[in-house]
Amino acid sequence: MSESKNKNISRRDFLKAGALSSLALGPLLLGGCDSDGEQSFKGRGKAKNVIFMVSDGMSAGTFNMADLIKRRKYGNGSHWVDLYNSDRRFHRGIMDMASLNSPITGSAAAASSWGCGHRVNNLSVNMGPNGEEYTPINQIFKDAGKKTGLVTTTRITHATPAGFSVNIDHRNKEDEIALRYLQREYDVMLGGGARHFEAASRDDDKNLISKFADKNYQIVQTRQELTQASANKRLLGLFYDSHLPYSIDRQTIDEHQQNIPTIAEMTQTALKHLENQDGFILQVEGGRVDHGAHANDASGMLYDQVAFDDAIKVALDFVDQRDDTLLIITTDHGNANPALNAAGEGYNDSAPFFDRLQEFRHSNTWILSELDSHSTVSEIRERVEYATRLGIGKDEAQALRKALNGNLDTIYDIKSNPSSVLGSILANYTSVSFTSGGHTSDFVELAALGPGIENLDYFTRNTELFDLMVNVAGLNENMVLASQ
């Protein structure tokens, strides 16, 4: 299927627009300007490889609590926080992630800001408000002869991987995004979303899995198949019909442990397949952190953040012994602003309340999956207790029952849905609560290692990461619009 019409924007206009958008926030954040007015980058062309890691929807509280749970349960801190305490040369700052039409961004616009260097409207992917199509960064790297990869715990056709890879007017057109992956032939794609590739679940009845196989892709659908995949062929891994299960559910359900790889395992495999003499770009997304925050699900969110942190270790191990790889670790936006709150006299109850999360077996999503408007108070209490080892009160179970029936009144309307109510009930026992179930406008955490980090200021505009990546990889001349 052909992509939508292309607008005539020159490379000089492209660079000029990027520079002006940076100046709107103050001094040019990615270095000075040369005599022709274009950005001058230290370390230009010094990065053979780029690894871009995104914990989707990670608020500051998520970042903090994941480190806490690792220290208190496993006896060591998060690799992300430990990076800041290490002797590595790194950059740390904050980033403004606003989209073109809102101070609160969605994942599609956020990924597009990195993926094409432009702020776009929420829901669109690498497309301007008048139909402009901006070449996604994976295509730029591919056109330069470098390998390209995507790893995610969501559907591989979801907003964040798509933001590095395709142009489309709405992120929800995931069947079409899968088709565009087939057309663009990126080297490694690992995640969920098999339903967008299988004929039985696509509106057009196309079997994209067989079409990828016809293009000499290895198709892997289990953890074992992933470990046995040849490093000499392109790789499509689809490990679940929709998003991959939450890490806390995966570690409890034997079938999931056997069949579904962790994000660290997918990252390790992707790096093995992508490493080559010409270089690569790899995006890694911990996407279900965002979903846990949307659902006010502390255990789902935090254990997925811990799993993402394991993938950070894989990336750090890769870059530690080399000087040719730019590693970026960040998030696309905050979500629901979760936090560990004060509890008890002198706040003495906060830590033991938080430690109860160590005993959880399942996510809130798992709990609610078997509850509906017909569930009794006893059934609700029994299922919650099995999943969390917490005995909630009858009045709390009754409130959840009302929410399941759609007749619970709350002052803040969005806190009346079942997931928010369950999150609020469990906050009474864990002291972890959420402000809402939606994205926030917070500035986000940004860490980077490798060539070009000296170009980053302590406050960064989202689009500047695109400029950084293409310039330190020596690909700034490849920035053209997606007319081909």
Kindly indicate the confidence band of residue 40, based on its pLDDT and cuts at 50, 70 and 90. Answer: low
What does the pLDDT look like over 82-126, one tens digit per residue?
A: 999 999 999 999 999 999 999 999 999 999 999 999 999 999 999
Q: Quick check: 12 pLDDT over 80?
A: no
Q: Are 326 and 375 in the same domain? A: no
Torsion angle, alpha carbons of 116, 118, 119, 121, to 10: -70
- Please check whether residue 484 lies inside any domain of the structure: no
Structure tokens at 322: 């080399």
- Please check whether residue 290 lies inside any domain of the structure: yes
What does the pLDDT look like over 43-80, one tens digit per residue?
A: 777 999 999 999 999 999 999 999 999 999 999 999 99
What does the pLDDT look like over 366-376, one tens digit per residue?
A: 999 999 999 99
The distance from CA 474 to its chain's CA centroid, rounded to whole angstroms, is 26
Predicted confidence at residue 44, as pLDDT, reads 77
Kindly indicate the confidence band of residue 39, based on its pLDDT and cuts at 50, 70 and 90. Answer: low
User: Residue 330 and residue 450: Cα distance in Å, rounded?
Assistant: 15
User: Residue 319 and residue 325: Cα distance in Å, rounded?
Assistant: 6
Q: Are 240 and 275 in the same domain? A: yes
Q: Are 348 and 255 in the same domain? A: no
What does the pLDDT look like over 74-88, one tens digit per residue?
A: 999 999 999 999 999
- Please check whether residue 377 lies inside any domain of the structure: yes
Mean pLDDT of the chain: 91
Q: Are 138 and 41 in the same domain? A: yes
Q: Are 326 and 247 in the same domain? A: yes
Q: Quick check: 27 pLDDT over 80?
A: no
User: Residue 57 and residue 74: Cα distance in Å, rounded?
Assistant: 24
Residue 167 contacts residue 134 (beta carbons within 8 Å): yes
Residue 226 contacts residue 116 (beta carbons within 8 Å): no
- Please check whether residue 483 lies inside any domain of the structure: no
- Please check whether residue 472 lies inside any domain of the structure: yes
Q: Quick check: 392 pLDDT over 70?
A: yes
Q: Are 379 and 298 in the same domain? A: no
Q: Are 230 and 206 in the same domain? A: yes
Q: Are 361 and 215 in the same domain? A: no
- Please check whether residue 243 lies inside any domain of the structure: yes
Q: Please tell me the total count of domains within the chain.
A: 2
- Percent of the chain with pLDDT strictly greater than 70: 90
Nearest to 268 by CA among 329, 323, 320, 317: 317
What does the pLDDT look like over 272-319, one tens digit per residue?
A: 999 999 999 999 999 999 999 999 999 999 999 999 999 999 999 999
Q: Are 331 and 394 in the same domain? A: no
3-state SS, residue 148: strand
Structure tokens at 204: 């057009």
- Please check whether residue 215 lies inside any domain of the structure: yes
The distance from CA 325 to its chain's CA centroid, rounded to whole angstroms, is 20
- Which distant-in-sequence residues (6+ apart) come within 8 Å of 232 by Cβ? none
Range of the domain at 410: 339-433
Q: What are phi and psi of 54, to 5 degrees?
A: -125, 115
Q: Are 165 and 196 in the same domain? A: yes
Rounded to an integer, the average pLDDT of 330-339 is 98
What does the pLDDT look like over 225-249, one tens digit per residue?
A: 999 999 999 999 999 999 999 999 9
Name the least confident of 301-305, 338-342, 355-359, 410-414. 410-414
Residue type, 29: L
Q: The domain spanning residue 164 has which CATH number?
A: 3.40.720.10
Q: Are 365 and 417 in the same domain? A: yes
- Please check whether residue 3 lies inside any domain of the structure: no
Q: Are 178 and 315 in the same domain? A: yes
Kindly indicate the confidence band of residue 479, based on its pLDDT and cuts at 50, 70 and 90. Answer: low
